[in-house]
Structure 1
Amino acid sequence: MTHPTTQPQGTHLTADLAGCQAAHPWMTQPEALRQACLLAVAEAGLQAVGERFHGFEPAQGHQTAGVTGVVLLAESHLAVHTWPELGVVTLDVFVCNLLSDNAARAQQLLDRLVAGFEPERQSRHTLLRALPDARST
């Protein structure tokens, strides 16, 4: 029989941003978003171990196109998706808390990126994740 653990083993933060300016470099320029994300990761005291950023081609009827980016962290991941034609951004930060509590670092990372996008509106959610206890009794 397994019992769920009571200690959170991960912190998962999301932010949905609206009213972001399409002309902001992070919205359409993969390299600008990449540099901002890597700097924010380092400033938060997290460790990037890989990354990939992709800029999309404008769709018919639009002059701009968004960026999707992921930074793999030793602690887990950061994912960013932009839609400049809608002024929308989604952010996803997940950090493991197995060896140390990284929740404050995750919050700092999310706060830095949200502030950088300068949204008019935002919705944030926090999920404390816990893995089932692998020990049977």
Structure 2
Amino acid sequence: MDVLGRHIIAELWECNLEKLNNIDFIRDTFVEAAVLAGAEVREVVFHPFAPYGISGVVIISESHLTIHSFPEHGYASIDVYTCGDKVDPNIAVKHIADALESSVGQFREIPRGMGPVNAKPIQKIK
């Protein structure tokens, strides 16, 4: 492996508004995403905001998955960071985008820990 970690920053638009404000759905989706990607879940913390929106984190042995949802904009900011080479953060991001029914999504993968940042080009989530 030529990097210590893989960090994906994803922008999800035109998401299902109800799902973006459903803390149980988002928590379950993020735990599922971590497991599907091959991660070991350690801690799970999600917090709802009034009148709407959710922020949360799934701490994994290999790092973390986070969300900040903005139902009023149909938008979610997603962050998936994994260390090592056994976890695929792309699987987690795709699962989250599909679950939130995002019709417009982009992500950028940033290799971490091995010198100057050499971010991959922005890609559409398919």
Instruction: Answer yes or no: same fold by TM over 0.5.
Output: yes
Normalized per residue, the structure richer in strand is 2
Which residue is equivalent to 1:29? 22
2:119 is equivalent to residue 110 of structure 1? no
Runs of 4+ in 1 over 6 A off after TM superposition: none
**Percent of pairs identical after alignment?**
27
For each residue in 1:26-81, what CA deviation from the matched residue of structure 2 results, as whole angstroms up to 9, or x when unmatched? x11212211111122112211110011000011xxxxxx11101000100000011
Which residue is equivalent to 1:122? 105
Distance 1:19 1:121 in 2: 6
Distance 1:31 1:118 in 2: 16
1:7 aligned counterpart, secondary structure: coil
Asked if 1 retains the 8 angstrom alpha-carbon contact of 2:38 and 2:86, the reply is no
Asked if 2 retains the 8 angstrom alpha-carbon contact of 1:77 and 1:93, the reply is yes
Count of aligned pairs between the two proteins: 115
Which residue is equivalent to 1:62? none
Which residue is equivalent to 1:18? 13
Which residue is equivalent to 2:80? 93
For each residue in 1:11-35, what CA deviation from the matched residue of structure 2 results, as whole angstroms up to 9, or x when unmatched? 00111011112122xx112122111
- Report the more deviating stretch, 68-77 or 6-15: 6-15
Of the two, which has the highest radius of gyration? Answer: 1
**Of the candidates 53, 59, 63, which is equivalent to residue 46 of structure 2?**
53
1:23 aligned counterpart, secondary structure: helix
Larger relative CO (CA 8 A, sep 6+): 1 or 2? 1
Asked if 1 retains the 8 angstrom alpha-carbon contact of 2:14 and 2:102, the reply is yes
Asked if 2 retains the 8 angstrom alpha-carbon contact of 1:7 and 1:130, the reply is no
Distance 1:88 1:16 in 2: 8
TM-score, normalised by the number of residues in structure 2: 0.84
Distance 1:123 1:37 in 2: 18
The two structures, once aligned, show a CA RMSD in angstroms of 1.6
Amino acid aligned to 1:102: K
List alignment gaps of at least 5 residues for structure 1: 1-5, 59-64, 133-137
Asked if 2 retains the 8 angstrom alpha-carbon contact of 1:80 and 1:92, the reply is yes
Amino acid aligned to 2:28: Q
